[in-house]
Amino acid sequence: MKVALITGITGQDGSYLAELLLEKGYMVHGIKRRASSFNTQRVDHLYEDQHEDNVRLKLHYGDLTDSTNLIRIIQETQPDEIYNLGAMSHVKVSFDSPEYVANVDGIGTLRILEAVRILGLEKKTRIYQASTSELYGGMPENKNEKGFYDENSPFYPRSPYGAAKIYGFWITKNYREAYNMFACNGILFNHESPRRGETFVTRKITRAVAKIALGLQKELYMGNLDAKRDWGHAKDYVKAMWLILQQDVAEDFVIATGVTTKVRDFIQMAFAHVGFNIRFEGEGVNEVGILNSVDQVIYEKATGLTINSLTLNAGDTLLKIDPIYFRPTEVDLLLGDPTKSKTKLGWEPEYDLQGLVEDMMVSDIQLSRREHFMV
């Protein structure tokens, strides 16, 4: 039985990856940070009675800032594969906590690599490092001839998060070359799901649209609507993580859909799921999203409510801009080239953007109904 260790197992990617590895027959160990409240809701459905025999998921208290703790956990678990998904991954927040981000996202990666080396597991343990499209910084001159970012595109991070992750990328590559370790970077473009944290833009949108449709919220406040992102589903992307560590040769891979979408268009798709047709007026901080009309059939099917319960009217403003959500340095466009991952890994995503939005909207409507209507 293969043994995997996942840092950040309680996050979006960690929970989907744990599901995938358990389905494949792995013994899965996960590292979670100690907190005064329960923070395991994304993996609670996988958790088994720890008193039973043949338990295949075990959680360990740990932190990427604590090297002795990491050495102990890796020594005890003797993993065949380590997936380093733990990070402070919110770009906007990284400007407020740059030192913490550097310690966790940058030096934390080094601690994992060095622990494997110190324990003499270089030949046994394969390491996946979660890199990010934020390494590119959206610089147009760094795209390839097709207009995409690929494995050979220069990096130009535009946030403390991106800068910390660039250290993680290069130290992983350095340990691969210096110690002949099977250590790989997955440069993942934006990937979302119903398990995405509520402060991330896609989840913020779907949560707000669900509440607006159910009459629980009046407006959605946003930042830069013109930012473009390459959005995929986290379920697809964790499959790519696993495939990267199954190769004969350790390499780095871009994981992306190759399709870019404006934040504004994602918002329209989310509202369309509940039958709301909205139009945008104005520019910059004065731009607003206004309700044009509501499709009764779609609305009632999506929300489980009757159209008579809807208190909104055509002409109501549903979206406003708040400058607080603008970043000090903005990344306007991220678009990845998945050619290498599709060719060498045989990776093909199952979800398109419409499927992703629908999955998130269905989940958030159900969540809001449970929270507020007890159904």
Residue 43 has pLDDT above 70, yes or no: yes
Percent of the chain at pLDDT exceeding 90: 82
Residue 34 has pLDDT above 80, yes or no: no
Residues pairing with 288 in the sheet: 281, 320
What is residue 33's predicted lDDT score, i.e. its pLDDT? 79
Rounded Cα gap, residues 49 and 55, in angstroms = 8
What is residue 93's predicted lDDT score, i.e. its pLDDT? 86
Residue 333 has pLDDT above 80, yes or no: no
Q: What is the pTM (predicted TM-score) of this model?
A: 0.91
Residue 273 has pLDDT above 80, yes or no: yes
Query: What angle (nearest 5°) sits at the alpha carbon of residue 194, between those of residues 221 and 79?
Result: 130
Residue 38 has pLDDT above 90, yes or no: no
For residue 289, the SS3 value is: strand
**How far is the first Cα of the chain from the last one, in angstroms, to the nearest whole number?**
41
Tokens representing 93 are 């927040």
Residue 5 has pLDDT above 50, yes or no: yes
- Confidence band of 35 (pLDDT split at 50, 70, 90): low
| Nearby residues of 222 by Cβ (< 8 Å), 6 or more positions away | 201, 205, 263, 267, 319, 320, 321, 322, 325
List of domains in the chain: 3-188 (3.40.50.720), 201-224+264-330+359-373 (3.90.25.10)
- Confidence band of 36 (pLDDT split at 50, 70, 90): very low
Residue 302 has pLDDT above 50, yes or no: yes
With CA atoms as reference, report the closest residue to 164 among 251, 217, 89: 89
**Annotated catalytic sites, by residue?**
132, 134, 161
What is residue 143's predicted lDDT score, i.e. its pLDDT? 79
The burial class, CB within 10 Å (0-12 / 13-18 / 19+), for 284 is exposed
Q: How large is the average pLDDT for residues 336-355?
A: 96
Rounded Cα gap, residues 305 and 311, in angstroms = 12
Q: What is the mean pLDDT of the chain?
A: 92
DSSP H/E element including 206: helix 201-213
For residue 41, the SS3 value is: coil
